[in-house]
Amino acid sequence: MKRIIHKADKARIKFVKVEFALLMFALVLLALVFSRPDVIGYASTNIHSQDLNLVMDHSQGFFLRSLTQKPIHLTSLTISGEVIGDGTASVYLEDAYGIQHLIYKNIKPQDSTHNRITGVSVAGSPMSGYSVTGNALPVKEEKPVLDLLEANDLYGYELLPKEYKTVSGNFNNACIDSCILYGNAYIGTHFKLDFFVEPGTKLKISEIVYTTLEEI
């Protein structure tokens, strides 16, 4: 009976991942359609998920490097994991120009009734640059195309704003500013993830899910 329940849980988790990935694809496609595109053509959006086992008790950086050394067009990125402790923890994605985009932060207003922050948001103005119109081919789930490499330690951590409190526990598919990534800033052979962790707190990263755009 336990084995049957375990198999059912695995099937349910896989279904949820696919369902979320299709939602992300739809959001990216809508953003491309309603932006002011400058490239006409066909595009295939691929979904990639990678299981990670990162545990950090201090601030640290990591590189996301192309496995093929060919440029990757990153169009969205989400992370899932857990915060253990009462300190602050935040994650940023750094673009080709060195600008950081917030993926996750474990704070909320003190009067908030939500149990945790997931960071899902699609607000924002499109950046000028590469975009695609025309017919889009069906979304495909592919093998990972990015490799995670340890970079330098980072100094400091984010202070807790007044009238806010930290939130511990699990978070899933967080992508505050990285739900949809616009423009040429995310076309390249490597990207940067910055993790800021307050001393006494641990940040676990269990999975990243991202989409890439492929010209045909």
Q: Is beta strand 202-215 parallel, antiparallel or unpaired with respect to 43-56?
A: antiparallel
In a 13 Å sphere around the CA of 49, the CA atoms on its Cβ side amount to 17
For residue 64, the model assigns a pLDDT of: 92
Report the pLDDT averaged over residues 68-76: 91
- Confidence band, pLDDT 50/70/90 cuts, at residue 169: very high
pLDDT at residue 106 is higher than 80: yes
pLDDT averaged over every residue in the chain: 76
Count CB neighbours of 211 within 10 A.
23
Report the pLDDT averaged over residues 39-49: 69
pLDDT digits (tens, 9 = 90+) for 4-28: 444 445 555 554 555 655 556 555 5
Rg (alpha carbons) of the chain, rounded to whole number: 18
Surface-to-core class of residue 212, CB atoms within 10 Å of its CB (0-12 exposed, 13-18 middle, 19+ buried)? buried
DSSP sequence for 132-179: -BS-BPPPEE----EEEEEEEE----PPPPTTEEE--EEEEEE-TTTS
Comparison of pLDDT for 169 and 30, the residue scoring more: 169
Could you tell me if 142 and 47 are in contact, meaning their C-beta atoms sit under 8 angstroms apart?
yes
Structural domains in the chain (count) = 1
Q: Which of 51-55, 80-84, 97-101, 112-116 has the lowest mean pLDDT?
A: 112-116
Which residue range forms the structural domain that includes residue 205?
Answer: 2-215
Q: In whole angstroms, how far apart are CA 143 and each of 8, 59, 140?
A: 24, 29, 10
pLDDT digits (tens, 9 = 90+) for 201-214: 999 999 999 999 87
